[in-house]
Chain A
Amino acid sequence: MRRRSRAHLVTGRVVLTAALLALAAIWLLPIVWVVVTSLKTTEHIVQLPPEWIPWPATASHYAEVLVSSSRTARIGRAFINSLVIALGTVAVVLLTSAMAAYALARLRFPGRGLVFAMLVGSLMVPSAVVLVPQYVLTQRLGWLSTYQGLIFPEAATSFAFGVFLLRQFFVTMPADLEDAARIDGANVWQVFTRIMLPLSQPVLAALAIFTFRAAWNDFLWPLIAVNKPEMFPLPVALALLRSAYSSESYGPIMAGAALSAVPLLVVFVVANRRIVEGVRISGLKG
């Protein structure tokens, strides 16, 4: 009796794992299809039945969108724009939100509750609501089609979340080390940079990844804040690629789509654990 129920359990588990593996394989099919298409020659792309092995394989679609296309913003240039914007945003967000979160977590000062409430409340404000005035402001600053015109609004959007995430982490850290350092004569800034920041590397990494992802993938703001093709970030350049090529071939479009996924794929493979931890911290201890 006992043995039978155990066998039952094992069978159940094997079936469940097999079902999950099958679903996971299906889940990846759209991505496989993008990559396979990007490597096919134009005639093979529209073959039916669908061919899942790109043979003969070609890199010509990649070459076309990276360097030689004259019809749209070049994906190569857009790739660099996106890198500059995303890394710039990460730098601004990490610096500003770590400083603010430390003050909110560890220092007593008048207005602390108000500032924190305002930041948390702003998490409920959708970015689409500030779109128009943000455009007017950016235009007045002369920042349309510039890196700073993309970096600072983007960073301001992620700032509140960053403060929230880091503060959650800072308040849970034991105060002993800071107290010891302060007795040794360290001032607030020294405690912050020499003790708090080094001990917070995992959560800072998580915040960096979230911010990078948000900035790398943002679409609506750059769509309106950039009107020079050479300043387009990837999502905008890709959307235009679609209208430039869709009547002839999906090859270049899929090559661009595949390229756009590479940096975050790398980050994700390297820092898988950090992402999960970050979701966990930010999740829901609030």
Chain B
Amino acid sequence: MGAARQRRRQTRAAYLLLAPGLTLFVVFRVYPLLEGLRLSFTNARLGRATAAFVGLDNYARLLADTRFHVSLVNTAFYAVASTVPILLLPLLLALALNRGALRTLLRSVFFFPFTLSVVTVGLAWLWLLDPVVGPFNYYLRALGVPTRSWLADPQTAMWAIIATTVWWVTGYYLVVYLAGLQDIPRELYEAAALDGAGGARSFVAITLPLLRPVLLFVVVTHVIGSFQLFGQVFVLTGGGPGDATRTVVQHLFETAFQNFFQFGLASAMAWVLFAVILVFSLVQFRLLRGHTEY
């Protein structure tokens, strides 16, 4: 068989294999992404037969929309404030679990909340944190700690949402870290021990640098996720009190589907959000990538 003919056959087979998936992907991902960009320059609304081109009007409206600014600030605050516990707690747990007994059992326990839907998680915590009859405040009172209505207090509402999220996703990142730790060759630690390096020294010299790609993955995944914060807020606070926990996706959702169905304006929000996420991710790549060479 000629080489050219075989190459042609392989190309045809490849395109046939790709066709169903790529069709799905182009129709429901690529097209909506570009269509969203187009909509953001129009005054499209649900039910409006023709949408007119309005240039940058929607973006200009966002510059003046103080609720959008508040939601952007809230979302960024959440993304930054939750990164530290979400980076550290699973890492500490992974280090403790990596060599210890009962690893499988403990890993499973911490992972379990991650199998729940955001609504289930939100409902559980709503009930735990109930200011009057919830157990959390009851035990705090029993310990003599001053309590408050955590979700209804603008000072603490976002922190309650962060705590809920930490409980929800810690197990996932724990498994990611554990996988990363397992991939570090044991001999490195043995060699370091022979050279007289203690636990702390080999953590700084071996574990951290070799874990760098994992840390990068965790941070970027978490930040992309944080900027889409919606479910926890929808269930726990509805964006309140006031606008203390209003997020970008919630604002987008309300603009597009509850408040006159302003699709053009909501699409502009989506693209601003996209740009913010891209900038954050790129900065993190720059900061964490460094030179990881094995």
Binding site for B on A (CB under 8 A): 13, 16-17, 20-21, 24, 27-28, 30-31, 33-34, 37, 45-46, 48-50, 92, 95-97, 99-100, 102-104, 107-110, 112, 115, 118-119, 122, 124-137, 152-153, 155-157, 159-160, 163, 187-189, 192, 213, 216-217, 219-220, 223-224, 234-236, 238-239, 242, 250, 253-254, 256-257, 260-261, 264-265, 267-268, 272, 275-276, 279-280, 283-284
Contacts and interface: CB of A to CB of B under 8 A. Distances in A.
Given A99-B18, A128-B273, 16 more contacts: A17-B101, A27-B167, A103-B15, A108-B11, A122-B30, A130-B28, A132-B266, A132-B267, A136-B39, A213-B115, A219-B117, A242-B123, A260-B117, A264-B115, A279-B175, A283-B180
24 contacts: A17-B100, A20-B96, A27-B113, A31-B124, A33-B124, A34-B120, A34-B124, A45-B133, A96-B20, A97-B21, A103-B18, A107-B17, A109-B11, A109-B14, A126-B274, A130-B36, A133-B39, A157-B29, A163-B21, A238-B123, A242-B126, A254-B123, A272-B104, A275-B175
Contacts of A135: 256-257
A108 B7 contact: yes
A220 B15 contact: no
Given A250-B127, A253-B123, A261-B115, A100 B22 contact: yes
Contacts, number: 276
Interface string B181-214: 0100000000000000000000000000000011
A-B pairs, top 7 by smallest CB distance, nearest first, are A156-B28, A96-B21, A217-B117, A133-B32, A280-B179, A130-B32, A264-B115
Interface stretch (B61-69, B78-86, B150-158, B225-233): B225-233
B172 to A, nearest CB: 8
B110 interface: yes
Contact of A283 (B13, B123, B214, B227): B214
Nearest to A13: B100
A129 B10 contact: no
A189 B14 CA distance: 10
Interface of B: 7, 9-11, 13-15, 17-18, 20-22, 24-25, 27-33, 35-36, 39, 93, 96-97, 100-102, 104-113, 115-120, 123-128, 130, 133, 135, 138-139, 142, 167, 172, 175-176, 178-180, 182, 213-214, 217, 224, 227-228, 230-231, 234-235, 248-249, 252-253, 256-257, 263, 266-267, 270-271, 273-274, 277-278, 281
A102 B263 CA distance: 39
A217 B267 contact: no
A130 B96 contact: no
Contact of A99 (B11, B21, B109): B21
A181 B102 CA distance: 44
A16 B24 CA distance: 49
Nearest to A260: B120
A40 to B, nearest CB: 12
Contact of A128 (B17, B109, B178, B228): B228
Nearest to B44: A136
A133 B36 contact: yes
A126 B124 contact: no
Contacts of A284: 176, 179-180, 213-214, 217
Given A107-B13, A156-B27, A268-B108, A132 B39 contact: yes
Nearest to A224: B257
Contacts of B14: 103, 107-109, 112
Given A124-B278, A125-B33, A239-B235, A160 B25 contact: yes
A115 B96 contact: no
B112 A126 contact: no
A129 B274 contact: yes
A50 B112 contact: no
A247 to B, nearest CB: 12
Residue among B10, B31, B32 with the most chain A CB within 10 A?
B32
Contact of B253 (A30, A102, A220): A220
Given A99-B20, A126-B273, A136-B263, A156 B29 contact: yes
A152 B96 CA distance: 41
A196 B249 CA distance: 41
B100 A16 contact: yes
B34 to A, nearest CB: 8
A265 B278 CA distance: 35
Contacts of A45: 133
Contacts of B30: 118, 122
A254 B127 contact: yes
Nearest to B248: A128
Contact of A30 (B22, B25, B110, B128): B128
B231 A257 contact: no
A159 to B, nearest CB: 5
Contacts of A24: 105-106, 109-110
B17 A192 contact: yes
A152 B24 CA distance: 7
A279 B109 CA distance: 16
A110 B110 CA distance: 45
Given A129-B270, A224-B257, A284-B214, A33 B127 contact: yes
Contacts of A21: 102, 106
Nearest to A138: B28
